[in-house]
Structure 1
Amino acid sequence: MKNIYDPNYVKKLFNHMAGSYERMNYITSFGFSIRWRKQFLKKLGNSNNDLKVIDLLSGLGENWVYLHKNFPNAQFSALDFSEKMVDSSRNKAKKIFKGNLHLICENILHNHLPSDYYDIISCAYGLKTFNTEQLEILAKEITRILKKGGSFSFVEVSRPENKWIYFFYKFYLGKVIPVLGKLFLGDPNDYKMLWIYTEQFQNSRSVKDIFEKNGLIVSYDRYFLGCASGISGWKE
């Protein structure tokens, strides 16, 4: 049986979805992915200072417009281990940052990022692809690379707690989205995995516990009746 948390499997999945992922994220969330993105990034505040900002699991760069607007004088970095996601995001990087972006193709769980370096860390829709052991490593890495007083915010699509919303959400993500994937992309299997990951992940409460255990100050954040959740906080 395949290990859906094997980094090689996850990388292959996202390499295959690179051409359609931003569009399908919008469709799978009924457009709420953009609203949740704005809400989770708002928790980082805004500043005109010369900060160091990194967007983790950066995908196609969907966070970048908002990060650049909120931190106009920052030094920006972005990290993702999917080569095709990184390559597909290069044009957006040039358009938004005019060359002021260090784009890194590495696995966050095994990286060469500097310690005690970043003031701001953002990450959207990547938590669900980690198992508990990997989340422990992620928390340690966030603690290591974040400056004292630095802030972080994560968001993830989640399993709704309301049973009626859950029933509809499960049907939509589990049945309808794979059909759309087949119609638009010719392959339903990749997008079927989005619900499988979401069902396994449930929500960000366990992530909050893991990050707190690693010495971070963490709040649990809930969006639209639990259809998305996240964590935000800082390093003392």
Structure 2
Amino acid sequence: MEDIYASDYVKRLFDSMAGSYERMNYITSFGFSIRWRKQFIRALGDSSADIQVIDLLSGLGENWTMLTNQFPNARFTALDFSARMCQISQQKYGNRPGITFRILHQDVLQNNLSANQYDVITCAYGLKTFNKEQLSKLAGEVCRILKPGGRFTFIEVSKPRNKLLLFFYRLYLKHTIPILGKLFLGNPDDYRMLWTYTEKFGDASAVQEIFQRYPLDVRFDSYFFGCATGISGIKRH
């Protein structure tokens, strides 16, 4: 059986879904994905300083408008290992006034970013594709590239702990989303994987525990009764 956390497997999956991923994120979250993005980025606070911001696992650039509004004088970098995602995000935002992101086609776990470079790190809906060993490497990279005193925030679709809510959420993601995926892609298996990853991920409590092994102050965040969870915090001086 193929390792669903292997880099090549995840790259192929997201290259395949790139054309419809933004719409499907909206549908799978009942439209809450945009609201959750705003909430998890807003928690960083505003700044007009000349800072460096990086959006990890940047996908189709869905965070970028909010980040540029919140940090109008920042220098922005985006990183994703899906070539197709990078290509589409460049096409979408490459000529849009006020949005200038340096897009890096790299694996976050094997990157050439400089240490202590960034003031802010964001990442939306990418945690579920890492196993625990990879999450530890991710935490190490976040700690390495973040400046002392720098802030980070992550968010991920999660399994709510309320049993009734979980029942309907599982039914929707496991059975309805693959049908919609077939309508968009002709291949329901790709979107069936979204539930597989979500079910294995659970919520961000394990991520918090892993990140706390590094010199990071980490807070657990919950959105809409646990349908999304994440972590946020700062790198200690």
**TM-score range normalised by the length of the shorter chain:** over 0.9
Match of 1:4 in 2: 4
Q: Distance in 2 between matches of 1:12 and 1:43?
A: 32
Q: Distance in 1 between matches of 2:185 and 2:3?
A: 24
What are the equivalent positions in structure 2 for 1:74-223 lying under 5 Å apart? Answer: 74-96=74-96, 100-223=100-223
Q: Is the 8 A contact 1:68 1:97 kept in 2?
A: no
Q: Distance in 2 between matches of 1:199 and 1:48?
A: 39
Say which is worse superposed, 71-80 or 181-190, in terms of deviation. 181-190
Q: Distance in 2 between matches of 1:46 and 1:91?
A: 27
Q: Distance in 2 between matches of 1:199 and 1:97?
A: 39
SS at structure 1 position matched to 2:94:
helix
Deviations 1:43-94 (A, max 9, x none): 1111000000000000000000000000000000000000000000002332
Which residue type is aligned with residue 214 of structure 1? Y
* 1:3 shift after superposition: 0.5
Deviations 1:101-144 (A, max 9, x none): 21000000000001001000000000000000000000000000
Q: Distance in 2 between matches of 1:174 and 1:95?
A: 37
Q: Is the 8 A contact 1:139 1:214 kept in 2?
A: yes
Which residue type is aligned with residue 75 of structure 2? Q
Q: Percent identity?
A: 58
* 1:99 shift after superposition: 7.0
- Return 5+ residue gaps in structure 2 as ranges: none
* 1:173 shift after superposition: 0.2
Match of 2:25 in 1: 25
* 1:97 shift after superposition: 5.8
User: Is structure 2 residue 49 aligned with structure 1 residue 59?
Assistant: no
| Structure 2 CA distance for partners of 1:226 and 1:173, relative to 1, 3 Å | same
SS at structure 2 position matched to 1:213:
coil
Q: Is the 8 A contact 1:65 1:96 kept in 2?
A: no
Which residue type is aligned with residue 107 of structure 1? D
TM-score when scaled to structure 1?
0.98
| Structure 2 CA distance for partners of 1:110 and 1:20, relative to 1, 3 Å | same
| Structure 2 CA distance for partners of 1:25 and 1:119, relative to 1, 3 Å | same
Question: CA RMSD of the aligned region, Å?
Answer: 1.0
Q: Distance in 1 between matches of 2:167 and 2:218?
A: 30
Q: Is the 8 A contact 1:114 1:145 kept in 2?
A: yes
Q: Distance in 2 between matches of 1:97 and 1:25?
A: 25
| Structure 2 CA distance for partners of 1:96 and 1:146, relative to 1, 3 Å | farther
| Structure 2 CA distance for partners of 1:48 and 1:98, relative to 1, 3 Å | closer
Which residue type is aligned with residue 203 of structure 2? N
Match of 1:228 in 2: 228
- Return 5+ residue gaps in structure 1 as ranges: none
Say which is worse superposed, 111-120 or 180-189, in terms of deviation. 180-189
Deviations 1:3-31 (A, max 9, x none): 10001000000000000000000000000
